[in-house]
């Protein structure tokens, strides 16, 4: 992490300011990047969506065919429920991430300090290792903690994303989708795939934060940056760390994400509604391998990498800024400047 982050503790942040400004920033980022989530979901679920969705962008008068959608507005399906539930979920995620990372990092540093004397062995404490371990473990814990809100949000939004235009116009509202879930599985239907979602979120969050934190700490001390401007250095580090974390996390956990998405969408991809015909992990895996080979387990990898990379890089940059301006002692308009 940046030196700025190392000096700003969670206890130093004004929580009202942090969540107030953060809600606006997160909403803007969600609206900007939501279309990539739609493309990723449709690639993972629908057999008639080509693996390269961008090659299917066609214009017909005022109508568009993008990733199998009839209108460009289709790229924003499911955004309503995401804005409604993702903001409180993100609040839980950040609080858990910050508090657990601070505790874990402090404990690890204490263990190193007790075992070795820094005065006698300067540099004994491996800061990148501490950052990777504490960031990775905290990221996994944070991802798991938000699943109670994330799973219902995913189920509703994903069902909206994969509907054809006719079905969406007839019954694609949030209330209609919720009714269909309750009629099919009862209230437990909102947590279909919860175990796999939890199982997938743990390695994704762990790999992302471990790679991201380790890269940032390692690049901070790189000799290449000596003499470079702080803006150039910060931008490059954010970009490299975000892309590295996204590529590794998305690729290693893609099969889990594909299975989770197809299980949660369920009836909307042609599965009969009788309980005995409901998809299982094994039936989905067998169907994917039979239809697409083992590469079927990696459907939507490219847009997911892009999604995680953009989300991670943009969100982490915004997060760094948010931490800075949310300090209890931060003034947007310093008194000495306002008097000039």
pLDDT in tens, 71-86: 788 889 999 999 899 8
Name the token pair of 266: 């369920």
Q: Using DSSP bridges, classify how beta strands 58-60 and 63-65 pair: parallel, antiparallel or unpaired.
A: antiparallel
Residue 155's pLDDT band, with cuts at 50, 70 and 90, is very high
Mean pLDDT, residues 60-64: 41
pLDDT of residue 333: 57
pLDDT interval class at 313 (50, 70, 90): confident
The more confident residue out of 292 and 2 is: 292
Q: 330 versus 269: which is more confidently predicted?
A: 330
Q: What is the pLDDT of residues 11-47, one digit of tens each?
A: 888 888 888 888 888 888 888 888 888 888 888 887 6
**Residue 87 confidence (pLDDT):** 82
pLDDT class of 201 with cuts at 50, 70, 90: confident
The whole-chain average pLDDT of the chain stands at 77
pTM of the full structure: 0.70
**CA 282 to CA 144: how far, in whole Å?**
23
DSSP secondary structure, 10-68, as one string: GGGB-HHHHHHHHHHHHHHHHHHHHHHHHHHHHHHH-TTS-S-GGGG-EEETTEEEBTT
Q: Are 225 and 219 in contact (CB under 8 A)?
A: yes
Residue 325's alpha-carbon distances to 175, 321, 329, in angstroms, are 38, 6, 9
**pLDDT tier at 243, thresholds 50, 70, 90:** confident
Question: Domains of the chain, with CATH numbers?
Answer: 3-331 (1.50.40.10)
Q: Is the pLDDT assigned to residue 131 strictly greater than 90?
A: no
């Amino acid at each position: 992490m940046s030196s700025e982050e190392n000096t700003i503790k969670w206890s130093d942040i004004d929580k009202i300011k942090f969540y107030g400004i953060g809600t606006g920033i997160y909403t803007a980022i969600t609206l900007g990047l939501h279309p990539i989530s739609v493309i990723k979901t449709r690639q993972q679920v629908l057999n008639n969506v080509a693996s390269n969705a961008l090659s299917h962008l066609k214009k017909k008068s005022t109508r568009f065919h993008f990733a199998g959608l009839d209108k460009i507005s289709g790229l924003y399906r499911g955004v309503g429920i995401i804005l409604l539930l993702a903001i409180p979920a993100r609040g839980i995620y950040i609080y858990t991430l910050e508090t657990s990372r601070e505790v874990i990092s402090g404990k690890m540093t204490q263990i190193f300090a007790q075992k070795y004397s820094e005065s006698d062995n300067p540099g004994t404490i491996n800061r990148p290792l501490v950052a990777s371990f504490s960031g990775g473990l905290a990221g996994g814990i944070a991802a798991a903690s938000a699943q109670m809100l994330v799973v219902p949000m995913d189920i509703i939004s994903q069902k909206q994303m994969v509907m054809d235009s006719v079905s969406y116009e007839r019954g694609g509202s949030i209330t209609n989708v919720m009714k269909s879930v309750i009629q099919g599985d009862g209230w437990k239907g909102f947590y279909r795939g919860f175990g796999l979602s939890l199982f997938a979120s743990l390695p994704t969050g762990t790999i992302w934060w471990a790679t991201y934190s380790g890269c940032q700490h390692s690049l901070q001390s790189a000799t290449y940056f000596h003499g470079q401007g702080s803006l150039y250095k910060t931008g490059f580090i954010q970009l490299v760390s975000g892309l590295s974390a996204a590529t590794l996390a998305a690729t290693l956990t893609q099969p889990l994400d594909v299975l989770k998405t197809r299980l949660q969408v369920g009836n909307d991809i042609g599965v009969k509604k009788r309980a005995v015909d409901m998809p299982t992990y094994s039936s989905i895996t067998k169907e994917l391998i039979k239809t697409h080979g083992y590469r079927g387990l990696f459907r939507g990898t490219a847009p997911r990498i892009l999604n995680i990379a953009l989300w991670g890089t943009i969100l982490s940059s915004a997060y760094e800024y948010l931490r800075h301006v949310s300090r209890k002692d931060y003034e947007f308009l310093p008194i000495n400047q306002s008097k000039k």
